[in-house]
A and B are shown apart, each in its own frame.
Chain A
């Protein structure tokens, strides 16, 4: 975006904004604002008119009230790793930057909980409690950077959510600054607090119902043992049939991830995992928890592997091997950068028994557009991440990547799945919401938004379409890739 067309706030407003947090905590220089013009969705760029760094709840409330008085829209931002454009300001609003609110306020392992600020980085929480034998279960691949506030807003998942559940299953209480500026506590320090399940509503609402300024999370006891297996297959079909077989046998591993040949090639270059020749797909399977009975589960998985003609079934022999396997999985997105100049991913979900059929259809869709696809995803819960590889210097390829992405998402919906399993609708997929939900349902969701956010100044244009917004409809898909 040319600097001359950046959104700007009048000087009077800037001075007022500075009075809440100190002028050094407000960014307004064009060069600074351009650093905040996107999240993990880097092809779509929309800079804010200011970035305000906040340090406590009351400040957030004052700023929100000031926004309401001046009819300025605002969006919360954690680490900006979101993958649906959630932390973009669409109409010249301001960004409320929470990364400085990153303290752990208290830890109570006896009660299995911790109270934290939203800017805390996901993995920092686990690090802080791991010595006591605890951890925070939701583990997005971005966990070294993303914040708990972002996790709450997106209801984030990760490889281990197959067994342990997503963010909403691990939140007990929230402090929320509502769009009215009012500060409310929802939930508490235990389950079952009286009234509607507001935790269930706020978690996953993509920052459109208020700004979360404090979070009470559940801490989990670290598992006694962990067994990690790598199964290599000579076809994606065999690998996906093996996934279905594992689930159908009633085995719920801690994690059940798939990576296809392209991804394996990319990670092999970096990590030399010794994946056998001729591998078209690998499954990374982890069993964890109480030790007794694990041998039994592992041998059942091995049997399923052989029954599906696995080329190799290998168990990590020690922690070092295990963490190599996970480095490969969590670094997979990054590794793809070494084999393609750009890529664009989706996050569709399908019933897990449909994996073989859907993966085959995806190959066809992508081939028709003359592109390549790399798959690295949460196979156990049917949450796909097809990475469409293309070259963004060629406009035509961008168009084809978008077309393929759209066809894949339509396919997910058609087989009974969803548009997104963990990355959120954001503004990227807002125009696709009508494929999934009928008009009545969308109007009720919008009604819920208006009930809490009547002026729609709080993160407008995200998550739930407003009935008559042409702007949103045009944006069926933003462009997307991550580095």
Chain B
């Protein structure tokens, strides 16, 4: 345990702790499972760490309504286990290691199932947040449709704990599918792989995930011996006829001279499970990036020579391992010049704000105003976020 670590057991305890730190102007690093502290500008080691490790467990699971609520310190594998008892799950890629729900929310770690189910912002219905001054607020609600008041959960998600500490989260869950499978096809030519994925994206299929992976990334996540330099992966979950219909359609319309290999449930989940660590633990330098989907193909042909990458046509986003930091500025200037972005997801410790987050955009002032309204003394992870927030 970190020498300055605090592990409050309740919202009230957390509230008085943060209120005290606010009064003393003492910087605090909110910590979930600690697996993603590499995201953002490196936190100062002397800050107090406040861990949610004691605020865990299910609050309620209304299986009939497909809604559940957990304390934010609950590990994601535990979340899935609890929901699994009622044959439901949170449609989030099973994250690796000790990731907690709160931690995933803090870094907005949603993964590739977002193609069908959306990212965390689309799954969270409401939450309890303890603000820097100790105020405890409850935003959103527990119903699936709700437009009462500002939706402050949205700005909490992905805020790296700079606006408040989430202590309880209400989420939409989904029933476990009757059948779950993933299909993969290899290509010798990256642009052919990309064009195929784009055609599938524009087809009338309803995949749960759809991504293209370079050889190194594909090999790391999928044990099958499928030859190729680039690979298209497509997941399908639903009733059995739905999944086999997808398989048929892929082989009829999107196989060309190749063939789609079917991967069954457990193994398919392994693929999604292995992706996040490939870009976190396993990599010295990983970039999260995005641009208009129609431009991703060009980005790949310019920057996808090293084969540790994954792109998702559904959202126009991707991850990329870089062998050297020097390559980042070209990638970034091309993406930013084309309306996109590149953010260092994992990198060397000494990077500065702009090196991590890229060139500030004009909306950074809006973000600063929000920070000022919610954490005026700047005690929560100061300097870790975009624009030095």
A185-B336 Cα distance, complex, nearest whole Å: 14
Q: Is A191 an interface residue when CB atoms closer than 8 A count as contact?
A: yes
Q: State which of A11-19, A118-126, A153-161 sits at the interface with chain B.
A: A153-161
Measured CB to CB, the closest approach of chain A to B46, in angstroms, equals 26
State the interface size on chain A (CB cutoff 8 A): 92
The answer to whether A191 touches B366, judged by C-beta atoms less than 8 angstroms apart, is no
Q: Which of B63, B141, B316 contacts A190 (CB 8 A)?
A: B316
The answer to whether A194 touches B148, judged by C-beta atoms less than 8 angstroms apart, is no
A201-B249 Cα distance, complex, nearest whole Å: 40
Q: Which of A109, A436, A443 contacts B202 (CB 8 A)?
A: A109
The answer to whether A221 touches B202, judged by C-beta atoms less than 8 angstroms apart, is yes
Neighbouring B residues of A265 by C-beta, 8 Å? none
Measured CB to CB, the closest approach of chain A to B85, in angstroms, equals 15
Chain B, 294-341, CB within 8 A of any chain A CB:
294-295, 314-317, 339-341
Size band of the interface chain B makes with A: 35 or more
Q: State which of B70-78, B264-272, B276-284, B354-362 sits at the interface with chain A.
A: B354-362
A191-B288 Cα distance, complex, nearest whole Å: 11
The answer to whether A349 touches B143, judged by C-beta atoms less than 8 angstroms apart, is yes
Answer whether A351 and B122 are a contact pair too, CB < 8 Å, given A191-B315, A290-B245, A464-B149: no
A197-229: CB near B (< 8 Å → 1, else 0) gives 111110111000000000000000111100000
Measured CB to CB, the closest approach of chain B to A253, in angstroms, equals 13
A421-B141 Cα distance, complex, nearest whole Å: 11
The answer to whether A422 touches B145, judged by C-beta atoms less than 8 angstroms apart, is yes
B115-159: CB near A (< 8 Å → 1, else 0) gives 000110110000000010001111101111111111111110111
Neighbouring B residues of A154 by C-beta, 8 Å? 147
Q: Is A188 an interface residue when CB atoms closer than 8 A count as contact?
A: yes
The answer to whether B138 touches A190, judged by C-beta atoms less than 8 angstroms apart, is no
Q: State which of A244-252, A312-320, A400-408, A474-482 sits at the interface with chain B.
A: A244-252
The answer to whether B149 touches A383, judged by C-beta atoms less than 8 angstroms apart, is no
The answer to whether B363 touches A451, judged by C-beta atoms less than 8 angstroms apart, is no
A183-B292 Cα distance, complex, nearest whole Å: 22
Answer whether A351 and B62 are a contact pair too, CB < 8 Å, given A290-B242, A451-B369: yes
The answer to whether B294 touches A190, judged by C-beta atoms less than 8 angstroms apart, is no
A448-B16 Cα distance, complex, nearest whole Å: 23
Measured CB to CB, the closest approach of chain B to A405, in angstroms, equals 16
Chain A, 314-365, CB within 8 A of any chain B CB:
349-353
A90-113: CB near B (< 8 Å → 1, else 0) gives 000000000000000000111111
Answer whether A419 and B202 are a contact pair too, CB < 8 Å, given A184-B366, A198-B367: no
Most chain B Cβ neighbours within 10 Å, of A154, A204, A292, A437: A292
Answer whether A351 and B142 are a contact pair too, CB < 8 Å, given A190-B340, A291-B245, A447-B373: yes
Q: Which of A109, A157, A168, A450 contacts B151 (CB 8 A)?
A: A168
The answer to whether A195 touches B363, judged by C-beta atoms less than 8 angstroms apart, is yes
A157-B145 Cα distance, complex, nearest whole Å: 9
Neighbouring A residues of B295 by C-beta, 8 Å? 111
The answer to whether B121 touches A200, judged by C-beta atoms less than 8 angstroms apart, is yes
The answer to whether B148 touches A201, judged by C-beta atoms less than 8 angstroms apart, is no
The answer to whether B175 touches A250, judged by C-beta atoms less than 8 angstroms apart, is yes
The answer to whether A188 touches B341, judged by C-beta atoms less than 8 angstroms apart, is yes
Q: Is A268 an interface residue when CB atoms closer than 8 A count as contact?
A: no
The answer to whether A296 touches B241, judged by C-beta atoms less than 8 angstroms apart, is yes
Chain A, 420-434, CB within 8 A of any chain B CB:
420-425, 429, 433
The answer to whether B108 touches A192, judged by C-beta atoms less than 8 angstroms apart, is yes
Q: Which residue of B lies closest to A351 (CB)?
A: B65
Measured CB to CB, the closest approach of chain A to B286, in angstroms, equals 14
Neighbouring A residues of B198 by C-beta, 8 Å? 110
The answer to whether B242 touches A293, judged by C-beta atoms less than 8 angstroms apart, is yes
The answer to whether B340 touches A189, judged by C-beta atoms less than 8 angstroms apart, is yes
Q: Is A10 an interface residue when CB atoms closer than 8 A count as contact?
A: no
Q: Is B35 an interface residue when CB atoms closer than 8 A count as contact?
A: no
Q: Which residue of A lies closest to B295 (CB)?
A: A111
A247-B131 Cα distance, complex, nearest whole Å: 36
The answer to whether B366 touches A178, judged by C-beta atoms less than 8 angstroms apart, is yes
Q: Which of A112, A203, A451 contacts B370 (CB 8 A)?
A: A451
The answer to whether B204 touches A223, judged by C-beta atoms less than 8 angstroms apart, is yes
Q: Which residue of A lies closest to B140 (CB)?
A: A418
A18-39: CB near B (< 8 Å → 1, else 0) gives 0000000000000000000000
Answer whether A196 and B158 are a contact pair too, CB < 8 Å, given A244-B64, A247-B65, A247-B66: yes
Q: Is B174 an interface residue when CB atoms closer than 8 A count as contact?
A: yes
The answer to whether B155 touches A196, judged by C-beta atoms less than 8 angstroms apart, is yes
The answer to whether A194 touches B155, judged by C-beta atoms less than 8 angstroms apart, is no
Q: Which of B66, B292, B317, B386 contacts A111 (CB 8 A)?
A: B292
Q: Which residue of A lies closest to B297 (CB)?
A: A110
Neighbouring A residues of B138 by C-beta, 8 Å? 437-438, 441
The answer to whether A349 touches B146, judged by C-beta atoms less than 8 angstroms apart, is yes
The answer to whether B148 touches A419, judged by C-beta atoms less than 8 angstroms apart, is yes
Neighbouring A residues of B118 by C-beta, 8 Å? 165, 169
Chain A, 168-191, CB within 8 A of any chain B CB:
168-169, 178, 182-186, 188-191
A449-B175 Cα distance, complex, nearest whole Å: 38
A310-B366 Cα distance, complex, nearest whole Å: 54
Neighbouring B residues of A295 by C-beta, 8 Å? 241
Q: Which residue of A lies closest to B153 (CB)?
A: A200
Q: Is B205 an interface residue when CB atoms closer than 8 A count as contact?
A: yes
The answer to whether B341 touches A110, judged by C-beta atoms less than 8 angstroms apart, is no
Q: Which residue of A lies closest to B88 (CB)?
A: A250
A243-269: CB near B (< 8 Å → 1, else 0) gives 010011110000000000000000000
The answer to whether B151 touches A200, judged by C-beta atoms less than 8 angstroms apart, is yes
Neighbouring B residues of A224 by C-beta, 8 Å? 204
Answer whether A351 and B370 are a contact pair too, CB < 8 Å, given A111-B294, A169-B122, A441-B138: no
Answer whether A191 and B239 are a contact pair too, CB < 8 Å, given A200-B151, A451-B372: no
Q: Which residue of A lies closest to B114 (CB)?
A: A191
Answer whether A111 and B147 are a contact pair too, CB < 8 Å, given A178-B366, A194-B358: no
Q: Is B238 an interface residue when CB atoms closer than 8 A count as contact?
A: yes
B343-387: CB near A (< 8 Å → 1, else 0) gives 100000000000001100111111101101110000000000111
A293-B179 Cα distance, complex, nearest whole Å: 11
Q: Is A297 an interface residue when CB atoms closer than 8 A count as contact?
A: yes
Q: Is A9 an interface residue when CB atoms closer than 8 A count as contact?
A: no
Measured CB to CB, the closest approach of chain A to B87, in angstroms, equals 8
Measured CB to CB, the closest approach of chain B to A271, in angstroms, equals 27
A445-B294 Cα distance, complex, nearest whole Å: 38
A196-B368 Cα distance, complex, nearest whole Å: 10
Measured CB to CB, the closest approach of chain A to B279, in angstroms, equals 14
Q: Which residue of A lies closest to B359 (CB)?
A: A194
The answer to whether B290 touches A191, judged by C-beta atoms less than 8 angstroms apart, is yes
A431-B88 Cα distance, complex, nearest whole Å: 38
The answer to whether B373 touches A451, judged by C-beta atoms less than 8 angstroms apart, is yes
Most chain A Cβ neighbours within 10 Å, of B144, B315, B357, B372: B144
Q: Which residue of B lies closest to A188 (CB)?
A: B339
Q: Is A463 an interface residue when CB atoms closer than 8 A count as contact?
A: yes
Q: Is B251 an interface residue when CB atoms closer than 8 A count as contact?
A: no
18 additional contacts, CB 8 Å, given A166-B145, A436-B148, A442-B149? A111-B294, A191-B119, A194-B386, A195-B363, A200-B121, A204-B147, A204-B151, A291-B245, A293-B241, A296-B242, A353-B62, A418-B145, A419-B148, A422-B147, A425-B148, A436-B141, A438-B138, A443-B135
Show 27 A/B contacts (Cβ-Cβ < 8 Å), sorted by A.
Answer: A110-B294, A111-B293, A165-B118, A166-B145, A186-B366, A190-B317, A193-B341, A201-B151, A248-B63, A250-B174, A290-B242, A293-B238, A349-B141, A349-B146, A350-B143, A353-B62, A418-B143, A421-B145, A422-B145, A436-B141, A437-B148, A441-B137, A443-B135, A445-B150, A448-B150, A451-B373, A463-B150
The 9 closest A-B pairs by CB, nearest first: A292-B245, A200-B154, A250-B175, A190-B316, A293-B242, A224-B204, A451-B373, A190-B290, A191-B315
